[in-house]
Amino acid sequence: MSGHSADFALTVPTPDPRGRCQPVRTGLQLLTEKIPLLLLSIADGLITIVAQRSQGAMESWDQFPMFRRAGYTIQGYGWYLWTTCCPSGLTVYYAFKPLVLLYVCVSALVLITISLYVVRHKERGHLLFGWLWFVLALLPVSGLLQVGDQSHADRYSYVPHIGLFVACVWEVQHWLEKWSVARHLAKVTAVATIAICMVLSNSQIRFWSNSETLWAHALQLDPDNHKAHTNLGVLRLQQHNYEDAETHLRRAVAVRPAWGVAIANLGWLHVQRQEWDQADECFAWALRADPKSVNARSGLAQVRALRPAASVLERKARQVPDEAVVANRLGLTHARRGEFEAALRQFREAIAIAPEYGDAHNNAALALSQLKQIPDAERHFRLALKYDPGNRNFHVNLALLLESQKNWKEARKHYERALQLHPHDVEARQRLDRLLKYLGTL
């Protein structure tokens, strides 16, 4: 949404900041001439909001309530002003961090102080113009309408800084005209400032030499930057450095368990190692986190085409009748459509044909969970494990149900059993770690 900063800023009334001679216009006339630009800005913004929401890029009001948006907006304004005065610690991506009340209060105090100064000296047109330009141009990207998962971005400040620098430059000139002695000091300060900016720019450019230096620098500033870990993991994967790739990708998932991009790339790591079961689990998990992920969907299809047909061999060994398999598949089709009662009927039909069919018991349990019939769901999960005790998915599903019922002890046992069956199981590891962390706080 950074492109809308310029649109929004053009709605600011533009008196000559130097107060030079021009036709006298009232404030109403200045505002009226901006109405066409304001309407265009609103239309452009609405189109962008609809497009971003259709792609799932915008956070909902339930996920990101108004009081949090207001806090991040105020804190964001303070951050942009601070980095303008002290441009250090800049990076390519700033992950969301919890709100810090002290930062919000200080930022609010700074914003109020500057605004009062501008209002007090409103006769100096450059102050009102520059401050309004900065505030309004930054508003669409301030976090009030949250797009994506970054807290702020350097690129968002390009257009807003035009107004800020206009206000600062002409305000400095205003004071220099009063204090002639300060003119020489101003020249020295300007030269020193330019020299400092040159040094800082040169050091910043080095970080943009290549992808590795860029994301490594991001990790130096924030060791929990999940996007930096993901991109470095992908880079190591391309270099066939699988050990480092796994370290970075697992760290990204540890920081953001629902980060489908890292999970899917972890799946591709397992593909390179021909660890088909683990790859299948990662791609399936990535799809649960992000059902629209093309990368995860194509990976899952490729894995199921390449890996040995172990599931088919196991089904034949157990001699599950084809009628039961067909009923089970029909149930899955209904479940994908959200028709859980119809799905449950098909799963029960499969179980009636083949009472020891573990997959049908597991799927019936999942449907029963959706229908809030928890005791029956637990019974079918246990039957699924009785007939197929080595199935990692059955252990995780039962553990999730037990965890929801606050049966922490047994849930932990099933997570641990899933990890014994698949030591590289990322989802079971993350869920177990989260459970242990929660239990440690009780």
303 and 333 within one domain: no
301 falls within a domain: yes
87 and 141 within one domain: yes
Strand locations in 297-380, DSSP E? none
256 and 155 within one domain: no
Residue at which a domain ends, from 290, 308, 326: 308
35 and 132 within one domain: yes
Residue at which a domain ends, from 367, 389, 411: 389
400 falls within a domain: yes
209 falls within a domain: no
Question: What's the CA gap between 231 and 227, in Å, rounded?
Answer: 6
Coil, strand, or helix at residue 166? helix
Q: Smallest Cα–Cα separation from 147: which of 72, 217, 221, 78?
A: 72
322 and 293 within one domain: no
197 falls within a domain: no
pLDDT at 431: 84
- 155 contacts: CB under 8 Å, gap ≥ 6: 2
240 Rama sector, left if φ>0, alpha if ψ -120 to 50, beta otherwise: left
196 falls within a domain: no
199 falls within a domain: no
280 and 260 within one domain: yes
pLDDT at 317: 42
pLDDT, one tens digit for every residue, the chain (442 residues): 444 555 445 545 555 544 444 454 555 666 676 667 666 666 655 665 565 555 555 555 455 667 777 888 888 898 889 988 888 888 888 887 778 889 999 999 999 999 999 999 888 888 988 898 888 888 877 766 655 566 777 888 888 888 889 898 888 888 877 776 667 777 788 888 889 888 888 888 888 888 899 999 999 998 989 999 999 999 999 888 888 998 999 899 888 888 889 999 999 998 888 778 788 888 888 888 888 888 888 888 888 777 654 454 444 445 678 788 888 888 888 888 888 999 999 999 999 999 989 999 999 999 999 999 999 999 999 999 998 888 888 999 999 999 988 898 899 999 998 888 877 777 788 888 888 887 776 5
- Provide the 10 A C-beta neighbour count for residue 316: 10
Task: Answer whether 218's CB lies under 8 Å from 92's CB.
Answer: yes
127 and 141 within one domain: yes
Task: Answer whether 52's CB lies under 8 Å from 147's CB.
Answer: yes
pTM higher than 0.85, yes or no?
Answer: no
402 and 382 within one domain: no
Enclosing domain of residue 247: 226-308
Calculate ∠ Cα 165-170-176, nearest 5°: 130
184 falls within a domain: no
Question: What's the CA gap between 363 and 391, in Å, rounded?
Answer: 13
Q: Where are the alpha helices (DSSP H) in 208-309?
A: 211-221, 226-238, 242-255, 260-272, 276-289, 294-306
250 and 292 within one domain: yes
Question: What's the CA gap between 359 and 350, in Å, rounded?
Answer: 10
17 and 59 within one domain: yes
Residue at which a domain ends, from 179, 209, 237: 179
Q: 255 is written with which tokens? A: 């920081």
Instruction: Give the CATH number for residue 420.
Output: 1.25.40.10
pLDDT at 316: 46
Q: How many CA atoms lie within 13 A of 218 on its CB side?
A: 21
- 73 contacts: CB under 8 Å, gap ≥ 6: 142, 143, 144
191 falls within a domain: no
pLDDT at 257: 80
> In total, how many domains does the chain have?
4
50 and 148 within one domain: yes
49 and 108 within one domain: yes
